[in-house]
Amino acid sequence: MVECTKQAIRELRDAAAGRRGEEVEIGAHMTRLTGDIISRTEFNTSYDTGKRIFLLLEHLQRLTSRSSRHLWIPGSQYFPSKYRREIRRLNGELEAVLMESIRRSREIADEGRAAAATYGRGLLAMLLSEMEEKEKNGGGGGGEFSYDAQLVIDECKTFFFAGHETSALLLTWAIMLLATNPAWQEKARAEVAAVCGDHPPSADHLSKLTVLQMIIQETLRLYPPATLLPRMAFEDIQLGGLRLPRGLSVWIPVLAIHHDESIWGPDAHEFRPERFAPGARRPSAAGAARFLPFAAGPRNCVGQAYALVEAKVVLAMLLSAFRFAISDNYRHAPENVLTLRPKHGVPVHLRPLRP
């Protein structure tokens, strides 16, 4: 994360220096940065290698988003249509790209490297090593979980989507909010300087960056990357006065909950990170019960924890490198395409703090 962010800071300096008024569209840079980080994490390679995967996932995302706006008729998924053919084509191409990466990793393994380091260091390497180990032990018999090729592909798609776009959107919205709230920007910068000094943040620093944590949580409240959480009941459930039968599909309106004035008060639509200050008064008991599971995603999710660490590291380093202000060209237009993104981007003015 630190090395990728250093490279992104160099690119931002060059971009700002090459434009009048030092204005850059920060969203594109955050997308490339988080793409670089997840590419190195997953495939131990660069963003350029994973760019084709990102483009295919984006096309699939837009098509899937379109489908959620139409009335679903049981059995309609079996009707032939240009729309469904395009989804199948894109998904087939995406899986072919991922299978090629898996094939290359296995070819490396066949060269005779030690089993412990067979596939390299990325997440894909860990999944393939686990799959190989399970196959040696009889395919994970006795009730143990086992990976097959399709599952590895699905895991890769999930990590690319969740570890790339949602992280980029969190960073983009956070920078927009800091650029339009200079007092909080200065407060966060002072905290980073006090905790980290002139060094990039380390693991020991992260828990001490409480102001930055408050800003990240408030950003997720105002602009949650996932505005709806679809879930299905696998068994009959009683929730208060509601009975949810097995098989029922439940759509949780995260964005609506996060802006509900009965939970947050009349300033629910305002940027107020002090809501999340240690010891601050939380929403009412009823409101908290409705809100807590969705504040920043499931608390026990490894991907969630990874994304929050990534956000802290990147924002801390950007605050140490730049002072940013929102451009007069910025048009506030959140767009919901499965994820909540700025329709017209986020142009900001960057002022380097160091030569």
Domain boundaries along the sequence of the chain: 2-181+323-352
Helices 182-196 and 166-180, packing angle to 10 deg: 110
If you write DSSP's letter for every residue of 147-215 in order, what string do you get? --HHHHHHHHHHHHIIIIIHHHHHHHHHHHHHHH-HHHHHHHHHHHHHHHTTS---HHHHTT-HHHHHH
H-helix or E-strand spanning residue 229: strand 228-232
CA 280 to chain centre: 27
pLDDT for 319: 97
Residue 352, helix vs strand vs coil:
strand
Task: Please tell me the predicted confidence (pLDDT) of residue 342.
Answer: 96
Within 13 Å, how many C-alpha atoms sit on residue 278's CB side? 7
User: What is the predicted pLDDT for the residue at 336?
Assistant: 87
pLDDT of residue 295: 40
User: Which class would CATH give 2-181+323-352?
Assistant: mainly alpha
> Which H or E element spans position 249?
strand 249-253
Close Cβ partners of 55 (under 8 Å, ≥ 6 residues apart): none
As beta bridge partners, residue 170 has none
Q: In what order do the strands lie in the sheet with 23-25?
A: 23-25, 347-352, 322-326
Q: Compute the chain's Rg from CA coordinates.
A: 22
Q: Is 196 annotated as a binding residue?
A: no
Q: How many CB atoms lie within 10 A of CB 310?
A: 23
Beta strand pairing call for 339-342 and 334-337: antiparallel
Beta bridge partners of 24: 348
**Whether the predicted model's global pTM rises above the 0.85 cut:** no
Cα 205 to Cα 207: distance, rounded to the nearest angstrom: 6
pLDDT tens digit at each of 355 positions of the chain: 999 999 999 999 998 887 666 789 999 999 989 988 887 776 666 666 667 777 787 777 777 766 666 656 666 666 777 777 888 888 888 888 878 777 776 666 666 554 444 455 566 777 777 777 776 776 544 444 445 677 777 777 777 766 678 899 999 999 999 999 999 999 999 999 999 999 999 999 999 999 999 999 999 999 998 888 888 899 999 988 889 999 999 889 999 999 999 999 999 999 999 999 988 776 654 444 444 333 433 333 556 778 899 999 999 999 999 999 999 999 999 998 778 999 999 999 999 997 6
- CA–CA dist 325, 96 (Å, integer): 43
Query: H or E element: which one contains 287?
Result: helix 285-291
- Cα 265 to Cα 272: distance, rounded to the nearest angstrom: 12
Nearest-angstrom CA–CA distance, 64 and 280: 39
What is the rounded CA–CA span in Å between residue 307 and residue 166?
8
| pLDDT value for 284 | 52
